[in-house]
Structure 1
Amino acid sequence: MFWPWAPKPPHAVGQKMDSLFLLGSQGQAGEGITNQIPCTQVVAAMGDFCGNASAAPGTQVTAFFLNVNPGKWSNFDPLPDSGQSIAGTASAAIGNVAANDGVNGVPGTVGSGGNAVVSPVGNWPNGISLDSATGAVMVAASVPAGSYSMAYQLCDSQSPLACVEVGAQVVVKPGTPPGPGGATPVPTLGEWGGIALSSLLALLGGARLRRRGVNT
């Protein structure tokens, strides 16, 4: 059984078709993608819809088999991700991009035995990377403060051609700046230290007045 075809109908015999397909044979089932298969029959009652297609002798056909037993259609419930980091400090701004995504009705999990596979889409900013084993978005200490938008691909681990694209944003906040001019903070005295200092200054002042009286 082949469904659906692209391009959309009306179709014509001999027209090159792309399709998704379901396959059942000897208790096995699966899904797949084919491309550029010639249409061999058009069903007028269905609006000139291609009823079947097969590869003519000598025709190059590309077919990808996705999953084997049991056949299913992958479905996703992706949600965008966001996280924060501090400039000058290496950290994981997002712990796992797949954690808030749904894959076939359950939360996404990555790594060995997981139901999802994640990978970066396009060129990510220097110093920001996606760990496909854990789903973490890592930010190096060298990344300057700013807001960064990226995208990643979320795929069904059992159907690696079934994927969606999801957005992710990381805000790198400025680090704590040093004191003005790099000045070293001056320690302050406690309450008793202040009292002792005041007493010492009073004694020194009294002694100076007494010496001045003797000299007069």
Structure 2
Amino acid sequence: MSSSTISSTERGPGPAQEKPALGAIRGEDGLARPPWAAVSPLLQSYYDTEWGLPVRDERGLFERISLEAFQSGLSWAIILRKREGFRAAFQHFEPDEVAAFSDAEVEKLMADTEIVRNRAKILATIHNAKATIALRQDEGLVDFVWSFKPDVTPRPQTIADIPTSSPESVALSKALQKRGFKFVGPTTMYALMEAIGMVDTHLMDSHRRGSSGVWS
């Protein structure tokens, strides 16, 4: 498998089509990781240092929601490779800046090879920035999203044991859509919940299991 892709048969960040019974892989450093994190140094670094750790600030959470939306239908490795391009193009995902993007700026983004040039997803990101700002009148994006944290988390032995959605991700998806958000389907929101530590789907023998501090 190329280091630039994640096989659809290896459950990693983002929605997956298949769930094979793949266990953790022990790297040369002696640390056990899921198969998707063993594909490339980029993915291994992301897994070791960021994935599954709590995100509790508005800008950070808006960035994650935006990147999960752009990832839909693509490899997460593509998004990671373009992450700095996304940050530059979207003003480091400051909601107030993104919400003010004009039609001319949309066209500029459509010509930017450093990001995924999908008009629907670009427009959704701008729309979601406005929805994020609107949420400030209530509890705010962070408290809103984290209010859907489940009471229990999966305890997967293999990739096949990890769900791609949950009752909570379905509820979060519907609630965000009601608030005007787009590209926030149940599987995308479950991937978000995994990425920000709302659920712990690290394999039980992974060296990162329990590292979020959210789940014991």
Q: Same fold (TM over 0.5)?
A: no
TM-score normalized with structure 1 length: 0.23
Say which structure is richer in helix.
2
Highest RCO, 1 vs 2 (Cα 8 Å, sep ≥ 6)? 2
TM-score normalized with structure 2 length: 0.23
Say which structure is richer in strand.
1
